[in-house]
Structure 1
Amino acid sequence: MALDGTGDTSLLLGSEDVPPVFEGNSAGRSPFLLTSDHYGRRIPRSLGDLGLPAGELTRHIAWDPGIAGVADALSKDIDAHLIAQRYSRLVIDCNRPPGAPSSIPRISEATVIPGNEGIARDAAQARREAIFEPYHRRIAEVIDRRLCDGVPTVLVSLHSFTPVYAGIARPWHIGTLYHRDSRLPPLLLKWLRAEPDLVVGDNEPYAVSDETDYTIPVHGEARGLMNTGIEIRQDLIADPAGQRQWADRLARIFGEIETELRAQRML
């Protein structure tokens, strides 16, 4: 397939490509349902390297470094179902509304993405059908099943962020991201701020909105589920030891939150 995305779009994912959706601990009994939109950085073989050098594909523009290790460990620690997306956000961003300019970015930060320039409408649709839709369909199926079975469900979307953006250092170690839910984010902020060594962002370094996000607005807010996004600074989870430490910390905090929610009969 050519870099501009023309050609046989039905073959976007071939037999050598992995499925887009990864699930961990699918029988988990925790009320927390974990998602990770930028878990992986794979690119379909048919798209080559999107015209980028290898070093660009390890940066934040391609995925959320470190979050996969945190998500995997946290899922096991709190016995939570994890649903994650294996393909790079440069192929299609699974936390952007389809059709938004950042859904299939032509430029990410200051980097031009040659394989996304001049992409044809049918090629963009092929990416959506092969990667975006299966991921969100699976999240919806799991939530549907849990609600049908009367299983309490709290949506937590896991991300990581760069220590420096546009030359400006970011002081936060972790941030909560939310929009309409006034139940879970205050609890999470309370318990995070009880940690004496943390600088905690309240809707920092990002905030959730209908225009810039998809997972929380569609799967959390539209269903009335308690929800939050979590952003962890990437230098803190750059290696397995850091990922393990943050999974342990979050597992302890989510245990406290679950106890509090059950005491208040919110679960």
Structure 2
Amino acid sequence: MTRSVQANAIAILAEDEPHPLEAYNENGSSDYVLICEHAGRRIPRRYGDMGLSEEDLQRHIAWDIGAKDVALELSTLLDAPLFTQVYSRLVCDCNRRPDVADFAPTRSEDTVISANLDLNEEERKARADAIFWPFHNAVTAALDARAAAGRRTILVTVHSFTPVFLGNSRPWEIGVLFNRDNVLSPALAEWLKMNTAYCVGINQPYSVGDDTDYAIPIHGEQRGLPCVEIEIRNDLIRTAPAAREWGKVLARALRETAVKLG
């Protein structure tokens, strides 16, 4: 799905603020294409600190800690294109449709996001036009180009999750999330169970759905692509070296899984 972006009376991003998309290795030779929608925690200057402390803006509520470092390692080792999003999901969640409430959350975990209270439709649309659609339109264009060239595409999105959520501990170290895909995801989960000592969650601690996700349903399932969302517990990837080690394991897992897909 591609949406044209119209000039909006509300200027979300100043002219000198970065485009929401950062693309890496766009000409990579791999069958894999990587997306990291919650890679960044940048806040447009228009919103200041969104009513939050600097500590809050470094928490998981603002971004997926460690996910970008894992994705970058995967991009290098797999020679795969990677598309990351630089703005915080508190401004707009690029893994939610613009018409759902969590697109601009008023509460994340136990924290009220005061800057998102009482948003009107004009403001929500302006955020979508400034951040969401430019990011996803670029991903759409890249996938369209691969399809036109007859290239095989296997879609992987990379995320992280907290070890404790609202006081409840999460035992999983990695989650393999999927909905309609019944090829790539089960194969990857089986590989991880057979070849690592990780506690692997199947659709844990989240699941993929049309109302709770965007990239997998739209970029993957609607195109009929093998697709999977990978979630890694963020206490295991908080440092760049730790994230790179996870990237190495996942690169091997994805390479060997791709071979099994035929």
Tell me the TM-score range normalised by the shorter chain.
Answer: over 0.9
**In 1, Cα distance between the equivalents of 2:34 and 2:159?**
11
Deviations 1:185-231 (A, max 9, x none): 11101111113421101111111011111110111111111100000
**In 1, Cα distance between the equivalents of 2:74 and 2:238?**
16
2:28 is matched with 28
1:178 is matched with 178
Aligned length in residues: 255
Runs of 4+ deviating beyond 3 Å: none
Q: Which letter does structure 2 place at the counterpart of 1:26?
A: E
Question: How does 1:174-253 map onto structure 2 within 5 Å?
Answer: 174-253=174-253
1:15 is matched with 15
TM-fit CA distance, 1:119:
1.6
Contact 1:9 1:123 in 2 (8 A): no
**In 1, Cα distance between the equivalents of 2:133 and 2:147?**
21
Gaps of 5+ in 1: 1-7
TM-fit CA distance, 1:16:
2.6
Contact 2:33 2:156 in 1 (8 A): yes
Q: Which letter does structure 2 place at the counterpart of 1:179?
A: N
1:105 is matched with 105
2:74 is matched with 74
Question: Taking structure 1 as the reference length, what is the TM-score of the superposition?
Answer: 0.93
- Kindly tell me: are residues 58 and 160 of structure 1, through their superposed partners in 2, closer, same or farther at Cα, counting changes over 3 Å? same
Deviations 1:122-164 (A, max 9, x none): 1111100000001111111111000100110011011000001
Contact 1:66 1:243 in 2 (8 A): yes
Using the aligned pairs only, state the percent identity: 45
Contact 1:156 1:227 in 2 (8 A): yes
Question: Taking structure 2 as the reference length, what is the TM-score of the superposition?
Answer: 0.95
Gaps of 5+ in 2: 1-7
Q: Secondary structure at the match of 2:189?
A: helix
**In 2, Cα distance between the equivalents of 1:105 and 1:95?**
12
Deviations 1:169-194 (A, max 9, x none): 11111010000010101110111111
